[in-house]
Amino acid sequence: MHDKEITVSLSWVKGLVTFAEQQGCERATLFKKSGLAIDALEKAQRLTMDETVNLWGACISETRDPFFGLHLGEQVRPSTFHIVGYTLMNSASLCEAFDKLNQYQRLISEGGVFQRVPSAKGVWLIYHPRPATIPFFYHQIDAVLTAFLAFSRWVTGKKIQPIEVSLNRVSVDSLDEYKRVFNVTPNFNAEFDGLLMTHDTMSLPLLEADEELREIHERHARQRLIALQKTKTTADQVSMILQTHMADSDAGRLFVAKKIGLNEKGLQRKLAEEGVTFQGLYNEIRKRLALDYVSDTGIPLAEVSIMLGFSDSSAFYRAFKRWTGCTPGNYRELSCR
């Protein structure tokens, strides 16, 4: 396994395999079909993202379940994610738990990152997939979104449902299972994958909230995260942090450096060794998110500038015109694409 490879925790992989076995699949068949040694989960510390995607493919093929991801996600409990799950379930509110998930998501999987984006209706919890060389199956996205919903229902004791669900893919033939799981009909062909939750929902207290226990679990999670980050490039770490915190006005060099455990000069030196700059990474991610948000007609343009951390709308408009050659409004109307 190379240092720069995206990896997935064995707890999440074992959950995938166990669920497939419960549906009647043979472990030996799944591993053979995905190209894994039968003892791969005993010998490895984590699987690469590509190995995991291949295993997903085998599970989907063997179960012949068109809603495999939805059904797997429904089974998620705090214990599924071990130390991260215990940290989340002892948080004070669902909002705090989501912030902790953002902070320690990489311990579960480095195959994506969540972003919290405020909107007029509530809060979008957007999932940005991060595959390696093999594209994700839509089941993997379904599992992530459904898992967060199942987890939220478990730790609050409430039948939580999103206001809206956005899925960045074509619609499926039957929507009944999606309606059953989410209690709303998802918007397919969307610009991103995410759940829109009310502010009241995100403020719900958690049944097992215990600050002392949360601090104990989080201490262990923090140690594991530090150990994991030592094997990753600094550019990878900066990109993940910026993508999550782009809406924060103070998400500059100092903010990111502290998140990684460096000072500003140390951050600049490490990025220079990798042939990139902080500003270059910042501009790249900001531009990509801008194109995604402006393309989504459900997000008012005035909100996009806030989501991207601009001081005002005029600064955002100038930057967008510099990037694309046209205004956000014209871009949205497809006149410049």
Amino acid 143: pLDDT: 97
Amino acid 336: pLDDT: 53
* Same domain, residue pair 256 and 194: no
User: What does DSSP say about strands 112-118 and 7-9: parallel, antiparallel, or unpaired?
Assistant: unpaired
The enclosing H or E element of 17 equals: helix 10-22
* Same domain, residue pair 262 and 177: no
Structure tokens that stand for 171 in this block: 């619609």
Amino acid 98: pLDDT: 93
Q: How many domains does the chain have?
A: 2
> Which residues constitute the domain of residue 278?
233-337
Amino acid 4: pLDDT: 54
Answer whether residue 208 is part of any domain: no
Which long-range CB contacts under 8 A does 65-71 form with residues at least 24 apart?
Answer: 65/23, 66/172, 66/174, 67/142, 67/177, 67/178, 68/139, 69/137, 69/138, 69/139, 69/140, 69/141, 69/142, 69/143, 69/146, 70/139, 70/142, 70/143, 70/146, 70/177, 70/178, 70/181, 71/19
For residue 289, what is the domain's CATH number?
Answer: 1.10.10.60
Answer whether residue 48 is part of any domain: no
Amino acid 16: pLDDT: 95
Residue type, 89: M
Average pLDDT along the chain, 337 residues, taken 10 residues at a time: 70 94 96 92 84 97 96 89 91 94 90 89 93 94 96 95 96 92 96 95 95 90 80 77 76 85 90 92 88 78 84 89 89 67
* Same domain, residue pair 181 and 122: yes
Q: Is 294 left (phi over 0), alpha (psi -120 to 50) or beta?
A: alpha
Amino acid 231: pLDDT: 57
Q: What's the whole-model pTM score? A: 0.71
Answer whether residue 322 is part of any domain: yes
Measured from the Cβ of residue 238, the count of other Cβ atoms closer than 10 Å reads: 25
Q: Are 129 and 140 in contact (CB under 8 A)?
A: yes
Residue type, 77: R
Amino acid 279: pLDDT: 93
Beta strands in 88-166, from DSSP E residues, in sequence order:
112-118, 123-129, 164-166
Task: Give the Cα separation of 297 and 332 in Å (integer).
Answer: 7
Q: How far is CA 78 from CA 9, 73, 86, 155, 198, in A?
A: 15, 12, 6, 8, 22
* Same domain, residue pair 106 and 145: yes
* Same domain, residue pair 198 and 248: no
Answer whether residue 166 is part of any domain: yes
Task: Give the Cα separation of 215 and 259 in Å (integer).
Answer: 18
Answer whether residue 171 is part of any domain: yes
